[in-house]
């Protein structure tokens, strides 16, 4: 019999976020209903609140508004659960968030949630990790169809990447810890690629930039810097498949305490060319080449970083780009999901064509709204 989440009580952290909402939607669509889903975040979108209000299934829904750094709140939130799917995190590739806050949410929050699981005997813990745990490194060493066995020298010291690496380590090291009821904690981490899809804030920002640029996306990435972005619905589905496998006695030993790369069948392409593929049906173009040669971009980023450092005693200046981000956007870096497929039956739920169509349809609904907003913003 295929593993099932029937009767499971689950907490989804970051349930108001881009990925968390999709995890919740797919959990509600399960053929065999969960007993309860607790949705935890600091805020919830109108769409998610409407979904909860209109839901008429067997699963009990509970909204929990609170901070991942509040230990007492987490203890209450985890009482009576058997599964936690931890998607909550601050994502920051520009360095806009103070490091202390980043570490507090991404690392301390993850550890506090582990502590609450142990105290409340929550047996299963699925963690949303990031490809940036591995790299790319500062040399820009490429990876093509990498696997979990890859030996790669990671030299990435950017705060966000460090916070995800530290949090992932906490999660995987906690695997096997004794719970209060005498059972053992089962954990795994899913290293996700760049996630795209409808309602992506990143896509909204890029869309604004393209509109301001005459409906042409700026080229931030070399065409040959192929990566494998993944559709949000597929990444959410991987979390659910991992959770199901944890309840399967034959599979749990294979995935316990391990990390997995989660990608899908989106064609390998640069980030800039992904934007074009999603927007071309709406008449958007993409610049044929980068505005500055890559070596000059690194030099400019270095100068801006030094300026930020010099100004730090007097004011906080966040450069519009940095060497880490340039490296991230311009290093060929692709990974296979074969081990996830082998160990917990993950395979993309949505094809590339379906994902592109859904995302483009959403972009089409946003274009007139964003153009109107930007038009009035310029008048001010």
Catalytically active residues are 160
Which DSSP string do the residues of 233-295 spell out, in sequence order?
HHHHHHHHHHHHHHT-TTTHHHHTTEEEEE--SPPPB-HHHHHHHHHGGGT-EE-SS-SS-HH
Distance of alpha carbon 22 from alpha carbon 89, whole angstroms: 15
Distance of alpha carbon 286 from alpha carbon 251, whole angstroms: 45
Nearest to 142 by CA among 334, 9, 289: 334
User: CA torsion, points 138, 145, 194, 25, in degrees to nearest 10?
Assistant: -150
List of residues 6+ apart from 39 with CB closer than 8 A: 12, 15, 16, 20, 24, 48, 52, 61, 62, 63, 64
């Amino acid at each position: 019999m295929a593993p099932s989440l029937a009767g499971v009580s689950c907490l989804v952290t970051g349930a108001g976020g881009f990925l968390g909402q999709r995890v919740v939607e797919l959990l509600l669509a399960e053929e065999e209903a969960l007993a309860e889903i607790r949705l935890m975040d600091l805020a919830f979108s109108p769409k998610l609140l409407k979904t909860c209000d209109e839901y008429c299934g067997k699963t009990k829904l509970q909204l929990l508004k609170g901070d991942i750094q509040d230990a007492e709140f987490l203890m209450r939130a985890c009482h009576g659960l058997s599964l936690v799917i931890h998607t909550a995190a601050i994502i920051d590739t520009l360095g806009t968030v103070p490091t202390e806050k980043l570490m507090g949410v991404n690392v301390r929050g993850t550890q506090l949630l582990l502590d609450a699981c142990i105290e409340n005997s929550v047996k299963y813990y699925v963690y949303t990790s990031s490809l940036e745990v591995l790299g790319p490194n500062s040399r820009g060493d490429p990876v093509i169809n990498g696997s979990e066995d890859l030996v790669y020298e990671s030299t990435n010291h950017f705060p966000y990447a460090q916070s995800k690496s530290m949090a992932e380590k906490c999660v995987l090291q906690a695997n096997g810890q004794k719970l209060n009821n005498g059972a053992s904690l089962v954990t795994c981490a899913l290293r996700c690629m760049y996630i795209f899809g409808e309602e992506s804030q990143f896509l909204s920002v890029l869309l604004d930039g393209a509109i301001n640029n005459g409906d042409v996306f700026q080229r931030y990435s070399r065409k040959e810097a192929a990566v494998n972005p993944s559709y949000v619905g597929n990444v959410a589905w991987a979390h659910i498949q991992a959770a199901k496998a944890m309840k399967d006695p034959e599979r749990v030993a294979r995935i316990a305490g391990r990390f997995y790369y989660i990608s899908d069948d989106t064609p390998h392409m640069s980030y800039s060319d992904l934007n074009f593929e999603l927007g071309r049906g709406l008449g958007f173009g993409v610049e044929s080449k980068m505005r500055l040669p890559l070596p000059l971009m690194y030099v400019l980023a270095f100068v801006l970083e030094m300026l930020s450092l010099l100004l730090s005693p007097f004011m906080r200046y966040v450069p519009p780009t940095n060497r880490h981000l340039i490296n991230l956007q311009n290093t060929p870096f692709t990974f296979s999901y074969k081990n996830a497929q082998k160990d917990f039956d993950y395979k993309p739920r949505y094809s590339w064509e379906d994902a592109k169509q859904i995302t483009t349809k959403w972009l089409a609904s946003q274009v007139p709204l964003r153009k109107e907003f930007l038009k009035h913003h310029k008048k001010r």
